Every structure is written in C-alpha cells, then in structure tokens.
C-alpha cells in the first residue's frame, strides 16, 4: 500500500474537493467513507487471498461513496444505497461467473461521476469478458486467448496536414496478431468492437506492423479524416477514451463495448464489477472459491493473486486521481 498515496488522500479530508467542501452531510460522509476505505485497504494488505476480495471490494465501495459525495455531477441523489450490481456465482470455472447490473447503486453513481456508460440493466456479462478490461490484468490474464482487452491509446499531434490521422495502440494481447496476422478484414471486424476506433483505416500501410514485447503488442494506426475533422475519440468532450492510471491524466485507455452497450466501459467500472464478483464468490461460495485460488490445481489462481496484489495499490491511486480531477475525472 503506497504511503504517499494515502498521505495525499488523507490530506483531502481536511480540505475536501468538490461538493464535499461545505459544512454538511456530504463533507462528513466524504471524511468517514475515506477513513473506512483506508481501514479496509489496510486489512486487505494483511489478509490472505481467501478473504482479500471482501476487504478490497468494500475499500473500493466506500472510497466510491466518498467520490460520489464530492462529485458536482451528483445532485440530491448523492446518498446512494446498494451496490447496483449482483453476481451469479454458481459457475465452477472463474471466467464463467456472471455479473449484472441490478437497480441503481454506487456502481451507477460512479458511472455518472466518470460520465461513462454503466452495464446494461439485467444483462449478464461473463467475468472472463470483464477481467481483461482492467489494464493491470495484461500481465496476468485469466485466459491467454483473450483478445478484447483494455488498450493504451497514444494520440498523435493535431492538426494533421493530410487526410490521415496517426496514433498508436499498446497493450494489445498477443492473441490478436496470432489470430489475425495480416488479415485486414478480420482485424477490421475485431477492432470494430471498440467504439473509439470508428474510422480506423487499414489501407494506410501495405502491411500491419505488429511490435511485440514481453506481455503485449503495439501497433501504429491511422484514421481516415472526414472533411478534415479530428477523429471522434480526440474530439473535445469525447467519452470514447478513458483517463486512467496517472495523476495528470496522461494515460489513455480504450475498451470494447460490453454486451449490448453502445459505448465503452471505463476501466474503473471494470474494477468495480470484477471485485464485486470475486467478493461474492468468497462470501457465498467459499468452498468453490478456495478451489479457484488453489495455486497447485487452478489455472486461474496466479491471475487472481496478481490482480488482488495490484488492487491493494491501485484502488487508492484510482480514488486519488478521480478526486484530484473531480470536476471531470473520466
């Protein structure tokens, strides 16, 4: 757990950001919820994997409650009850566990704070499809055959002086070039699953230039420019690209649409859904959960350990980055 991150979060409790800066209930809720978030995170640090998802989920939940109390995008409905998510935990294999939005709760409130779409109500989504939308999962995927994942986007300079706009993508899973190689038609169908990549051109270069590294692949890309206008994902106010992972907002990620969603799911919301699923398994299916995290027999145990270790550090960083840009954190 990062001492400097928590020191910065604790400093906000004396001088809260946004709508928590007054004298009323939003301020006191902000302060108390952040204290609980810190205590849950400390508990998770010393907990084994059998129970760690419980502390981590409630750390994120209470931290989100503080965010909602501070957010100018949340009006009189800032007193949120319930998670807004549920999980179906009967599956015997971890990727087949299902998560679905149910009613209105903290999950939907966080989507409002970020100005991103939440999961579609009652539509069941596999954990195996949500897991790779967390950028940190790139180094420990649930399944090495994953293709639809969070991808880092690096914009090129604007304005451009020709009919193409150049940018680059990183953290593409190795399974993508293995499956599609130089098949541009198949690649076009694959990347069409990412709302941010509308207008992507596969004719700008004769070959698809994959650049592999130890855990992922990068690719230079080009967009066809319509009437000289910038691509949708770099237009002002776009919610096709998510700011994630850095205090200055310089790390940008794109994700695919999930289920029947029309827009991408923010990585923070993917963290929410994933930790909800893991905590539900630990609470309601403890025998099955113990099997899933058995490092000697489970193919998913290493990925679980990796993600739960990362979450201890990442959750406070996520919350701090949102709170420091509470007027427009998405």
Tens digits of pLDDT across the chain (330 residues): 578 999 999 999 999 999 999 889 999 999 999 999 999 999 999 999 999 999 999 999 999 999 999 999 999 889 999 999 999 999 999 999 999 999 999 999 999 999 999 999 999 999 999 999 999 999 999 998 999 999 999 998 887 767 889 999 999 999 999 999 999 999 999 999 999 999 899 988 899 999 998 889 999 999 988 777 889 999 988 999 999 987 777 899 999 999 999 999 999 999 999 999 999 999 999 999 999 999 999 999 999 999 999 999 999 999 999 999 999 998
The two most distant CA atoms of the chain are separated, in Å, by: 62
Q: How many CB atoms lie within 10 A of CB 117?
A: 18
Cα dihedral 277/283/287/291 (nearest 10):
40
Question: Both tokens of residue 149?
Answer: 């994942």
How far does CA 261 lie from the centroid of its chain? 15
Contact 252, 155 (CB under 8 A): yes
Backbone angles phi, psi at 101, to 5 degrees: -75, 140
User: Rg of the chain over CA atoms, in angstroms?
Assistant: 20
| Distance between CA atoms of residues 183 and 206, nearest Å | 12
Contact 215, 135 (CB under 8 A): no
Contact 136, 310 (CB under 8 A): yes
3-state secondary structure of 188: helix
């Amino acid at each position: 757990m990062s001492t400097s991150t928590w020191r910065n979060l604790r400093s906000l409790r004396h001088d809260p950001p946004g709508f928590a800066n007054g004298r009323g209930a939003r301020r006191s809720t902000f302060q108390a919820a952040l204290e609980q978030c810190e205590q849950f995170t400390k508990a998770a640090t010393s907990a084994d994997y059998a129970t760690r998802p419980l502390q981590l989920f409630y750390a994120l939940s209470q931290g989100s409650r503080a965010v909602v109390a501070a957010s100018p995008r949340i009006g009189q409905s800032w007193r949120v009850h319930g998670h807004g998510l549920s999980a179906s935990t009967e599956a015997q294999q971890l990727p087949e566990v299902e998560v679905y939005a149910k009613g209105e709760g903290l999950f939907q409130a966080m989507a409002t704070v970020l100005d991103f779409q939440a999961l579609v109500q009652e539509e069941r989504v596999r954990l195996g499809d949500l897991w790779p939308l967390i950028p940190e999962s790139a180094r420990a995927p649930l399944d090495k055959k994953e293709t639809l994942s969070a991808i880092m986007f690096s914009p090129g300079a604007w304005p451009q002086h020709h009919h193409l706009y150049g940018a680059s993508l990183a953290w593409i899973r190795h399974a993508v070039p293995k499956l599609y190689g130089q098949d541009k038609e198949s690649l076009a169908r694959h990347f069409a699953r990412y709302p941010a990549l509308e207008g992507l051109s596969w004719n700008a270069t004769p070959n698809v230039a994959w650049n592999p590294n130890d855990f992922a692949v990068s690719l230079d890309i080009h967009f066809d420019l319509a009437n000289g206008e910038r691509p949708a994902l770099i237009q002002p106010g776009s919610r096709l690209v998510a700011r994630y992972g850095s205090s200055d907002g310089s790390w940008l990620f794109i994700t695919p649409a999930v289920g029947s969603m029309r827009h991408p799911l923010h990585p923070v919301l993917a963290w929410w859904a994933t930790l909800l699923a893991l905590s539900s398994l630990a609470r309601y299916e403890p025998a099955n959960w113990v099997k899933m995290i058995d490092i000697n027999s489970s193919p998913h145990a290493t990925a679980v350990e990796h993600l739960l270790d990362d979450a201890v550090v990442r959750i406070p960083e996520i919350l701090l980055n949102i709170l420091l840009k509470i007027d427009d954190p998405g």
